[in-house]
Every structure is written in structure tokens, then in C-alpha cells.
């Protein structure tokens, strides 16, 4: 399927965790372990608030929910331990873990000369991309090592657009997290949400499953 001849879309920015690969559940399980040591049971709704949020901002939120007072060294130690658990889980990733619909959309985008970028809050983004065999596929990669403010701040997406030499209005973001959707909209970009429509309702369009991604959705929202 070709992109509409009148389409404004020149670049697509993909979130990583929860969009390209289901590492969102690895983040959740790793934080759950840390929280349980603080006698706090991390719940589904808590985790929704952590998606797209940086490691340090996440540890601060969890300590607050657990009503535990820790020094900055202790918080950093907990964040480091969470990362050890998380990277151990990532060690088993292979290209088979790429979520349905992603490769087919990327191939359609490339066939239409649309730039593709990664816009992730994760400092492990390159490691994960390498494990799933996609490290060399993106025209631009902006991750947690390149930004000072995490989503919902739009910095990651604005940097990705700049590196693609594109204006924000010519970019579409694909996101699974409420914080990422706020970031994309405040960057002045269109956004496709993947997940539950009641949680992602501010996106320009929401699909429940990445298998339904197609270039036709870009035609629908590029207006
Ligand atoms: P790390 P994304 C985000 O990645 C995750 O959604 C979030 O849960 C995580 O805390 C954050 O990356 C930082 O990850 O600890 O690996 O640096 O969804 O923006 O691709
Ligand atoms: Mg995500």
C-alpha cells in the first residue's frame, strides 16, 4: 500500500519498550522485585504511570508510593539493581520477540522513502535493538542517553525530528504509554497509540494490537 500522494508524513518515530518489543513486562517485573523489598506491591495501574518514564524518575515514584525514605545513594543503588534484573531478562531476547506488525510497517515505510527513528526513554535501547537484530535499521536513534528530560517532556521526539531534518508536523509517533502520547502531542506531532483506548484516548488514533499497524493508518491521520 503506498502513502497518499498528499500525505505530510515524512518520518515515523517508534517508541521501543511496549511498541517494538514487549520489554514493558520486563521493566514491570524488575520494578516489582525492588518494590516488594520495600513491602510494596507494585500494581498494574502503578506500572502504567512508569511506562516511558526514566529509571531515576521511576525509582523516585515507587519510593513515594511505598512511603519509604531513602538517601540519594540508596535510590541510585535500587535503580542499579533494577537494571541488573532487567538486563538479565533482556539477555534472552531474539528477533522472534519483535512484536507483530512492526517489521511489515517498517518495510512499507522504507518502500515509501519515509524516514524511521527510534525515540525511547531507555538507556538500554541499543542493547535491546542489538538483541532483536534491528540496531542498523533506523535512520536515527535517540534514547535515554541522549536526553536530559524524560517523557512526558517532548525532548526525545524533538531531537529525533531534528536529526531526521524534519519538522515536527511532518512526523508521526507510535507509542504505548500515556507519558509518551503527551510527549508526542506537545512536540506538535501526530501520534498512534497501541493499547487500551480508555488509557490512550488522547492519541490521534488508537489500535489495540501492533498487528493492525499499516501505512493506511498514516494516511488516516496525516490530514
Ligand atoms: P532504562 P520506552 C522506557 O522505554 C520504558 O517504558 C520505561 O519503563 C523505562 O523506565 C525507561 O524506558 C527507562 O529505561 O531503565 O532501560 O533506561 O518505552 O520509552 O522505549
Ligand atoms: Mg513504551
- 171 CB less than 6 Å from ligand 1? no
Q: Is 85 helix (H, G, I), strand (E, B) or coil?
A: helix
Name the closest ligand to CA 83: 1
The answer to whether position 30 is within a domain reads: yes
pLDDT tens-place string over residues 32-50: 999 999 999 999 999 999 9
Cis upstream peptide for 152 (omega within 30°):
yes
- Nearest of 192, 156, 186, 162 to residue 174 by alpha carbon: 192
17 and 28 co-located in one domain: no
The answer to whether position 6 is within a domain reads: no
**Ligand 1 test: best mutation among 15, 51, 121, most atoms within 8 Å of CB?**
121
CATH number, residue 200: 3.40.50.1000
205 and 131 co-located in one domain: yes
- Nearest of 93, 147, 100, 89 to residue 119 by alpha carbon: 147
pLDDT of 26 over the 90 cut: yes
User: How many other C-beta atoms are found inside a 10 Å radius of the C-beta of residue 170?
Assistant: 18
Q: Grid coordinates representing 222?
A: 496525516
Average pLDDT over residues 54-60: 96
Q: Atom of ligand 1 at shortest distance to CA of 15?
A: 20
Residue nearest to atom 5 of ligand 1 (CA): 52
The answer to whether position 203 is within a domain reads: yes
Residue range of the domain that includes 73: 24-90
- The CA 1 to ligand 1 mean position distance, Å, reads 32
Q: Tell me 153's DSSP state.
A: S
Average the pLDDT over each of 1-5, 81-85, 137-141 and give the range with the smallest value: 1-5
Average pLDDT over residues 191-215: 95
83 and 142 co-located in one domain: no
Cell 535512520, residue located: 139
List CB contacts of 178: < 8 A, sequence separation 6 or more.
Answer: 48, 49, 51, 52, 152, 199, 200, 202
The pLDDT confidence band at residue 219, using thresholds 50, 70 and 90, is: confident
60 and 103 co-located in one domain: no
pLDDT tens-place string over residues 63-122: 999 999 999 999 999 999 999 999 999 999 999 999 999 999 999 999 999 999 999 999
Amino acid at each position: 500500500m503506498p502513502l497518499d500522494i498528499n500525505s505530510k508524513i515524512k518520518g515515523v518515530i517508534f517508541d521501543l519498550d511496549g511498541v517494538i518489543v514487549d520489554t514493558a513486562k520486563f521493566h514491570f517485573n524488575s520494578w516489582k522485585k525492588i518494590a516488594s523489598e520495600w513491602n510494596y506491591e507494585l500494581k498494574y495501574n502503578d506500572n502504567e504511570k512508569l511506562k516511558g518514564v526514566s529509571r531515576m524518575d521511576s525509582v523516585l515514584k515507587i519510593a513515594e508510593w511505598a512511603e519509604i525514605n531513602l538517601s540519594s545513594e540508596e535510590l541510585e543503588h535500587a535503580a542499579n539493581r533494577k537494571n541488573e534484573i532487567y538486563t538479565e531478562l533482556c539477555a534472552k531476547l531474539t528477533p522472534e520477540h519483535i512484536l507483530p506488525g512492526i517489521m511489515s510497517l517498517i518495510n512499507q515505510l522504507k518502500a515509501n522513502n519515509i524516514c524511521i527513528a527510534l525515540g525511547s526513554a531507555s538507556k538500554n535501547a541499543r542493547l535491546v535493538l542489538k538483541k532483536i537484530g534491528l540496531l542498523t535499521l533506523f535512520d536515527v536513534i535517540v534514547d535515554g542517553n541522549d536526553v536530559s528530560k524524560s517523557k512526558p517532556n517532548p525532548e526525545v521526539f524533538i531531537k529525533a525530528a531534528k536529526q531526521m531534518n524534519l519538522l515536527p508536523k511532518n512526523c508521526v509517533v507510535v507509542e504505548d504509554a500515556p507519558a509518551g502520547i503527551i510527549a508526542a502531542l506537545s512536540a506538535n506531532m501526530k501520534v498512534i497509540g497501541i493499547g487500551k483506548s480508555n488509557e490512550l484516548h488522547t492519541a490521534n488514533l488508537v489500535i489495540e494490537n501492533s498487528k493492525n499497524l499499516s501505512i493506511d493508518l498514516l494516511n488516516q491521520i496525516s490530514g
